[in-house]
Amino acid sequence: MSISLAGTAGKQSASKFGKLKTAILEQRVVKFVYYSSYGQRTERQVEPMKLQFKNRSWYLQCFCLKSRELRIFKISRIEELEVTGTRFDRRKLEIVPLDAQMPDERLNYVELALLFRPLMVYRVFDDCGIR
């Protein structure tokens, strides 16, 4: 007998995505627990603004009520997500492209030289976006 967790994880992600989408459209504050890449657990209340896909992951761009500034949260690290009944007026803030808001990721890059068989070049184009 085998048990697949992929289906469960996919359903949880879809549920989170759906809740966040609704909160953005209805302009409702959301609460959640967030686990940072440094292993820190924090409780957040945010005004969700935009969902964005980058590097095979979904991110929430929002105004964080705790830090009082724009923040990005990786949806897969969000737990205990709750859409509250509190409405907010959309702030007139410029949403900077995700690449410009994620400098920490770039600090962890390592330069590599990879060799691929000609037969696999299509995968480099498909998966890496290199042209």
Express each pLDDT in 35-82 by its tens digit: 988 889 999 999 999 999 888 889 999 999 999 999 999 999 999 999
Domain count of the fold of the chain: 1
Q: Is residue 121 part of a domain?
A: no
Q: What does the pLDDT read at residue 6? A: 45
CA distance 73 to 81: 12
d(Cα 88, Cα 70) in Å, to the nearest integer? 15
Chain mean pLDDT for the chain: 81
d(CA 6, CA 12): 10
Q: Which residue has the higher pLDDT, 85 or 115?
A: 85
**Greatest CA separation for the chain:** 55
pLDDT of residue 5: 38
Answer whether residue 97 is part of any domain: no
Domain hosting residue 16, numbered range: 6-92
pLDDT of residue 39: 85
pLDDT confidence band for 121 (50 / 70 / 90): confident
Q: Look at residue 2 and tell me whether its pLDDT is greater than 50.
A: no
Confidence of residue 9 (pLDDT cuts 50, 70, 90): low
Q: Is residue 40 part of a domain?
A: yes
In a domain? residue 76: yes
Predicted pLDDT of residue 42: 95
Q: Could you tell me which residue, 96 or 105, shows the higher pLDDT? A: 96
